[in-house]
Amino acid sequence: MCGITGVIYRDGRRPPPELIRKMANTIAHRGPDGEGVHVFDGGGLGHRRLAILDLTPDGAQPMAAANGTVWVVFNGEIYNFQELRSELEGLGHRFHSRSDTEVILEAWLEWGERSIQKLDGMFAIALWDARSRQLVLARDRTGKKPLYVYEDAEKLVFGSEIKAILAHPNVNTREWPEAAAQFLSHGYVPTPHTFYAQIRKVKPSCFEVLEAGKRETREHQYWEFPLGPERRVKTEDDWREVEHEVRRLFFAAVKQRMVADVPIGAFLSGGIDSSLVVAAMAMQSSRPIKTFSIGFEGAADFDETKYARMVADRYGTDHTEFRVKAEAFDLAEKLAWHFDEPFGDSSCIPTYIVSKLTREAGCPVALTGDGGDEAFAGYPRFSAAAAAEQIPELARKLVHRVTSAVAERPGDRHLWWRTHRFVNRATLPLPARLQSWVTLYGPQELEQRAGLAITPSSSSLGARYRDLFQKAATLSADTLNQVLFVNARTYLLDDLNVKVDRAAMAASLECRSPFLDTTLLEFAFSLPAHAKLIRSNRKRLLKRAFSDLLVPEATYRPKMGFGVPMDAWLSDRAHPTRGRAIERWADLQLSRWADTRSSSRSYPFPPSHKPEGSEPH
């Protein structure tokens, strides 16, 4: 895991090494173990290293292919690099390191653009091919690793984080007019946009190619979630087959992610997903696994530590627990610098704390349960979406008319409020319904807010959801797989993945997610709805296939999620009094952005908010 950055000039000029080094050092927290710069006629590449594989100088970046014609900087891990290396050696390639980075280079020399589809992992890659004078920017399938791009008539600038781009002295920082409203609707600015009009995100499952001297990049999508008619799962033989296969794929995914030359730990919440990751790690390790969890003082509804201890005891892990106090809210200022733009998920605070705890315990790598909900239908909104589709439209409208006469009672975890919200959105079309369940502010609320430069129409705010649902429906996916697909290309991509990457990398920690393994995801999407959930029985397949590994007390309980007690944390602070805590958090994020954005040319937040040791030098 590392940080990458660079620039390509369309007129072929060579940038000064000091500029590339300055850009790279803005993201030093992503790679505290070393730095590297390579400049050439037409551009330069910069790298900050977090050494995980091949800790010797042979694994340093920027790295060149043996013939010196191709250079790469790379952030992430290629989990099938050993298989690809063996295949390339059979084709005559020779390797000088034990790193996965060199495999990327040799694969490019052998297969060109087709090599990207062969890579299985989490990655953001910038590759310069001097033979064709092309820059290739590639991003992994689910968007685990970030990659931002700025373009104008003169140059292309890229980086793992926006701050690396802003460190270039000639970047237009004009704000995208729709950014604030999009953020207040979604809790993030949807891909490919950012808060900056000329800075975009490389899309997941895609790579871009820029030929030096040309004005435009060309984009290619190399993978998509498999959607279509689902496999048959009806008889006991069918069930035994899928249970065996999901176990085989999951254990293989965990084993791949345990490959490292440094100690590895695991986040453990006590939920199904993290419990299974820890179980699979323990069963494939000769030493006790280090596990980490956190709880919240004075907030029992948000505390899962007792369940985590049950799992840790069962698998004999070396377990560490941390108690978070309300003062942790003060980390919001520090994390604002790391996220570069407003971010609506307040659980970035505990994610950073558990990441810091893990790193300080001597583990630069941690496995997580992220992706289990997304692949195997773990969120209540998934069962709600499926249930609403089964209710006749006339009945939905009748119940809606009754409940509309009763005011909502805000509170994320309040049963009446959740029921009220479900019923009142159930009459909407499926795309609008799913979006409404995850929206912070609706179109009417946005119109009432003062100070927004532009308020997109309801049609604009829902365009991404409608387009994705239309694509899934065209491929004959069932309702649940349509919902899972849309969720993966919205919430997973722009919320969960961003939260984990920024919060963990702020602590110089690499997080790996077995449930986001490509083969496992493809298998999960091949299954019909009833294999993953039936009524309120979510993650049905995981509970059946891994019943011998799960702790019943931790498994069969209401889902808590990785939330934080924001109501309590905000109660004694200056903040807007209306709405839910999540909305107030979003308001605070946007206010901070507005107040501080103009205070620094090179950073979106003032220097006083920058974490110690991360300033350029």
* Integer Cα distance of 179 and 163 in angstroms: 17
Confidence of residue 324 (pLDDT cuts 50, 70, 90): confident
Which CATH number is 547's domain given? Answer: 3.40.50.620
pLDDT at 571 (0 to 100): 56
Comparison of pLDDT for 565 and 208, the residue scoring more: 208
Domain assignment present for 94: yes
72 and 32: one domain? yes
* Integer Cα distance of 314 and 270 in angstroms: 11
47 and 77: one domain? yes
pLDDT at 396 (0 to 100): 55
Q: Report the amino acid identity of residue 271.
A: G
- This prediction has a pTM of 0.91
112 and 176: one domain? yes
Domain boundary among 223, 251, 267: 223
The mean pLDDT of 58-71, rounded to a whole number, is 93
192-201, 338-347, 514-523: the lowest-pLDDT one: 338-347
75 and 106: one domain? yes
Domain assignment present for 463: no
3-state SS, one letter per residue, for 70-85: EEEEEEEEECCHHHHH
Q: How far apart are the first and last CA of the chain?
A: 21
Domain assignment present for 466: no
139-148, 307-316, 561-570: the lowest-pLDDT one: 561-570
Confidence of residue 90 (pLDDT cuts 50, 70, 90): very high
* Integer Cα distance of 115 and 107 in angstroms: 6
212 and 321: one domain? no
Tell me the average pLDDT of the chain: 87
Q: Residue 524: name the closest of 398, 412, 378 by CA.
A: 378
The mean pLDDT of 176-193, rounded to a whole number, is 92
12 and 161: one domain? yes
* Integer Cα distance of 254 and 239 in angstroms: 23
Domain assignment present for 590: no
Domains of the chain: total:
2
pLDDT at 609 over 90: no
Query: Which pair of structure tokens corresponds to residue 140?
Result: 């992994």
The mean pLDDT of 239-268, rounded to a whole number, is 97
pLDDT at 392 over 80: no
Torsion angles phi and psi, residue 78, rounded to 5: -100, 110
| Spatial contact of 286 and 246, defined as CB atoms under 8 Å apart | no
The parent domain of residue 244 ranges over 236-376+486-573
Is 2 annotated in the active site?
yes
Query: Which pair of structure tokens corresponds to residue 259?
Result: 């490959």
Torsion angles phi and psi, residue 490, rounded to 5: -130, -80
pLDDT at 578 over 50: no
Domain assignment present for 354: yes
Domain boundary among 162, 194, 223: 223
Query: Which pair of structure tokens corresponds to residue 152?
Result: 């104008």
Query: Which pair of structure tokens corresponds to residue 62?
Result: 């920027």
Q: Report the amino acid identity of residue 482.
A: Q
| Spatial contact of 592 and 10, defined as CB atoms under 8 Å apart | no
Q: Report the amino acid identity of residue 258.
A: M
pLDDT at 278 (0 to 100): 98
- CA distances (Å), origin 288, targets 176, 272, 281, 285, 546: 49, 20, 9, 7, 21
Domain assignment present for 99: yes
Give, as one character, the DSSP assignment of residue 493: I
* Integer Cα distance of 122 and 445 in angstroms: 37
* Integer Cα distance of 96 and 387 in angstroms: 56
Torsion angles phi and psi, residue 40, rounded to 5: -155, 170
219 and 242: one domain? no
Q: Angle formed by the axes of helices 81-90 and 100-111, to 10°?
A: 50
Query: Which pair of structure tokens corresponds to residue 346?
Result: 């307040």
The DSSP H or E segment spanning 492 is none
178-187, 479-488, 584-593: the lowest-pLDDT one: 584-593
Determine if the peptide bond prior to 62 is cis (ω within 30°): yes
| Spatial contact of 226 and 218, defined as CB atoms under 8 Å apart | no
Domain assignment present for 450: no
Which CATH number is 139's domain given? Answer: 3.60.20.10
* Integer Cα distance of 549 and 496 in angstroms: 26
pLDDT at 69 (0 to 100): 92
273 and 340: one domain? yes
Domain boundary among 223, 248, 276: 223
pLDDT at 398 over 70: no
254 and 179: one domain? no
3-state SS, one letter per residue, for 28-71: HHHCECEEEEEEECCEEEEEEECCCCCCCHHHCCCEECCCCCEE
The mean pLDDT of 406-419, rounded to a whole number, is 54
Of the residues 2, 206, 348, 363, only one is catalytic, namely 2
Long-range contacts of 238-242 (CB under 8 A, 24+ apart): 239/544, 242/527, 242/531, 242/541, 242/545
Domain assignment present for 10: yes
264 and 339: one domain? yes
* Integer Cα distance of 498 and 146 in angstroms: 8
* Integer Cα distance of 416 and 439 in angstroms: 18
197 and 240: one domain? no
Torsion angles phi and psi, residue 150, rounded to 5: -115, 135
The pLDDT > 70 percentage for the chain reads 84
pLDDT digit string (tens) for 104-159?
999 999 999 999 999 999 999 999 999 999 999 999 999 999 999 999 999 999 99
What is the CB neighbour count within 10 angstroms for residue 572?
Answer: 8
359 and 246: one domain? yes
